[in-house]
Amino acid sequence: VAPFAPRDERPGFRDRGVYLVTGGLGGIGLAMAERLARDHAARLVLMGGSLPPREEWESLLARSSLPAGLRRRLDGVTRIVEAAGEVEVVPGDVADEADVAAAVRTAIERFGRLDGVLHAAGVPGDGLLQLKHREDAERVMAPKVHGVRSIEAAVAGLDLDLVVLFSSITSFTGGGPGQADYCAANAFLDAYAHDAMARGVARQVVSVSWCEWTWNAWSDGMKAFDPAARSFFEANRACFGLSFEEGWGALARAIASGQAHIAVSTQDLDKMAELSVHFRTDTVGTSVRPDAVRHERPDLPSPYVAPEGPVETAIAELWAAALGLTEIGATDDFFELGGNSLLGVDLVSRLRKQFERPELPPRVLYEAPTVREFADRMAGLGPSGAQALVEVVT
Ligand SMILES: NC(=O)c1ccc[n+]([C@@H]2O[C@H](COP(=O)([O-])OP(=O)(O)OC[C@H]3O[C@@H](n4cnc5c(N)ncnc54)[C@H](OP(=O)(O)O)[C@@H]3O)[C@@H](O)[C@H]2O)c1
């Protein structure tokens, strides 16, 4: 994307531009703000959360006992100032129209204008839908659903370049168990972006449905999963999460696209959406559907190597059934074959249950992503695991 675009062309970020970042002290929001300061000497209003008075920062940062979250925030805001950015931190609730109006006023009074909004405020959803109270869901929906409405009211008439909404691919996949409200909130953002773009809320309104980033601020949001699944998803985030550089690059491309809705996924999104239909708490362990249609092994960079011996053959058959393929080579990579986190957590859960191998580490697919490596890991568990595997499959 062009680093600067004049008003009558598609806007990117402006040098010395003025941006409001909601959730601006959060993991992604603050990192975006830092990059805007570094690359564009942006002037920023960070909304949501508060910081101690400026004169206390030095002594606070010198304390080794300073909580990591506060240290990250103080360090981030300090770096913005050092990068020639200018910054105001404004507390408030993005779901509250008066609070957002106050943040926008701060931008106008301090910097003379506002060029864009990055709406990154959000809270994770957790807990099964059946056990949720209305207020639980409202807490998750509010920053997104009421948030965009408050932003729209506050920026009316300001002729903004852009409004970027931070959504999630859960709006495609439905998310995991416990994420119904989070999924709905993000789906609302995606739909809203089309409508807001058509109504001219800004020259560009884009909702970006992100896959996971490497930030792990939301591990509490996975309370709905059992410890094995949680550990698997943590490994998945480490393996497939977007780095900041990748996310920043994807953001630039999303803005340059001119589209109202862009999904950013490191994995095959259609496949994830398709598989997620089966991903419920009561169906984890049903990835292997013997009656499902099988497809030929896709073309891979590595040649087909036939599995050897009963253990490799048994594992290959299980993986093939889970992936809907007729055959799998011993050195094929699970993830190159179209495997993904939803399928992986299901498959490992099945292996753990059916082969009575609770010691099988949930992250094993990341450490041993080929049948051969997986078989070696199974062999390392002792004879019973491999034997059970052979017995069940044959
Ligand atoms: N991280 C990911 O992997 C990922 C993936 C897909 C999409 N996203 C989306 O990206 C956005 C940022 O995620 P993140 O990882 O940076 O999360 P984060 O670290 O938890 O940051 C979110 C920020 O939003 C603030 N916030 C929450 N509710 C608010 C409200 N009503 N008013 C004002 N501020 C509010 C939070 O403030 P407090 O800390 O004070 O509560 C927090 O600083 C979220 O919208 C999320 O849905 C993230």
386 pLDDT higher than 50: no
Residues with a CB atom less than 6 Å from ligand 1: 22-23, 25-29, 48-49, 93-95, 120-123, 142-143, 166, 168, 210, 212-213, 215, 217
Work out the average pLDDT over 39-54. 94
d(Cα 325, Cα 337) in Å, to the nearest integer?
9
pLDDT at 375 over 50: yes
CA nearest ligand 1 atom 1, residue? 213
In this prediction, residue 92 carries a pLDDT of 96
pLDDT of residue 55: 93
Task: Select the more confidently predicted residue: 381 or 125.
Answer: 125
For the ranges 95-109, 170-184, 216-230, 266-280, the maximum mean pLDDT occurs at 95-109
Q: Which of 71-85, 115-129, 195-209, 277-291 has the highest mean pLDDT?
A: 195-209
Distance 25 CA to ligand 1 centre (A): 9
Is the predicted pLDDT of residue 215 greater than 80, yes or no? no
Which of the four pLDDT bands, split at 50, 70 and 90, describes residue 82? Answer: very high
User: Residue 283 CB: number of other CB atoms within 10 A?
Assistant: 11
Q: What is the pLDDT of residues 189-203, one digit of tens each?
A: 999 999 999 999 999
Beta bridge partners of 45: 20, 88
Average pLDDT over residues 86-101: 97
Q: Which of 96, 123, 246 to mutate to test the pocket of ligand 1 (most atoms within 8 A of CB)?
A: 123
HSE of 125, CA atoms in CB hemisphere, 13 A? 30
How far does residue 324's CA lie from ligand 1's centre (Å)?
36
- Residue 79 alpha carbon to ligand 1 centre in Å: 20
Q: What is the pLDDT of residue 154?
A: 98
pLDDT of residue 218: 55
Residue with CA nearest ligand 1 atom 43:
26
Q: Whose CA is nearest to atom 4 of ligand 1?
A: 212
Q: Whose CA is nearest to atom 21 of ligand 1?
A: 26
Residue 291: predicted pLDDT: 56
Which stretch of 180-194, 205-219, 249-263, 274-288 has the lowest confidence by average pLDDT?
Answer: 274-288
Q: Rounded to 5 degrees, what are φ and ψ at 263?
A: -105, 140
Question: Comparing 91-95, 204-208, 364-368, which segment has the lowest mean pLDDT?
Answer: 364-368
Q: Which helix (H) or strand (E) covers residue 166, if one does? A: strand 162-168
Return mean pLDDT, the chain: 84
Rounded average pLDDT over 164-172: 96
pLDDT tens readout for residues 221-265: 555 566 666 677 777 777 788 999 999 999 999 999 999 999 999
Is the Cα dihedral 104, 108, 111, 112 positive or negative?
positive
Q: What is the pLDDT of residue 323?
A: 83
Count how many Cα atoms sit within 13 Å of the Cα of residue 70 in the half-sphere of its side chain.
16
pLDDT value of residue 385:
46
The DSSP annotation for 73-138 comes to HHHHHHHHHHTT-EEEEE---TT-HHHHHHHHHHHHHHHS---EEEE-------S-GGG--HHHHH
Residue whose CA lies nearest to ligand 1 atom number 25: 23
**CA 368 – ligand 1 centroid, Å:** 33
pLDDT band at 159, cuts 50/70/90?
very high
Residue 212 alpha carbon, nearest atom of ligand 1: 3
Which residues does 380 contact at the CB level (< 8 Å), separation at least 6? none
Q: Which of 139, 166, 212, 341 for mutating ligand 1's site (highest number of atoms within 8 Å of CB)?
A: 166
Amino acid at 144: K
Atom of ligand 1 nearest to the CA of 147: 31
* Atom of ligand 1 lying closest to residue 94 CA: 32
Whether residue 119 is predicted with pLDDT greater than 90 in this model: the reply is yes
Residue percentage of the chain with pLDDT more than 70: 82
pTM of the model: 0.77
- Ligand 1 centroid–CA 48 distance in Å is 9
Distance (angstroms) between ligand 1 centre and the Cα of 24 equals 8
**Coil/strand/helix, residue 336:** coil
Q: For residue 79, is pLDDT > 90?
A: yes
Select the highest-mean-pLDDT range: 105-114, 279-288, 298-307: 105-114
Dump pLDDT digits (tens) for 311-320.
788 888 888 8
pLDDT level of residue 290 (50, 70, 90 thresholds):
low
Beta-carbon contacts of 233 under 8 Å, excluding residues fewer than 6 positions away, are 176, 222, 225, 341, 345
The mean pLDDT value for 307-313 works out to: 87
Q: For the segment 321-351, what is each residue's pLDDT rounded down to a tens digit?
A: 888 888 999 999 888 887 877 677 777 777 7
Q: Which of 28, 100, 211 is the pocket-test mutation for ligand 1 (most atoms within 8 Å of CB)?
A: 28
**What pLDDT shows up at residue 8?**
44
Q: Give, using CA atoms, the residue closest to atom 34 of ligand 1.
A: 48
Residue 99: pLDDT band (50, 70, 90) is very high
Residue 228 pLDDT? 65
| Shortest-distance Cα residue to atom 46 of ligand 1 | 122
Task: Decide if 287 contacts 322 (C-beta within 8 A).
Answer: yes
Please tell me the distance between residue 28's alpha carbon and the centre of ligand 1 in angstroms: 7
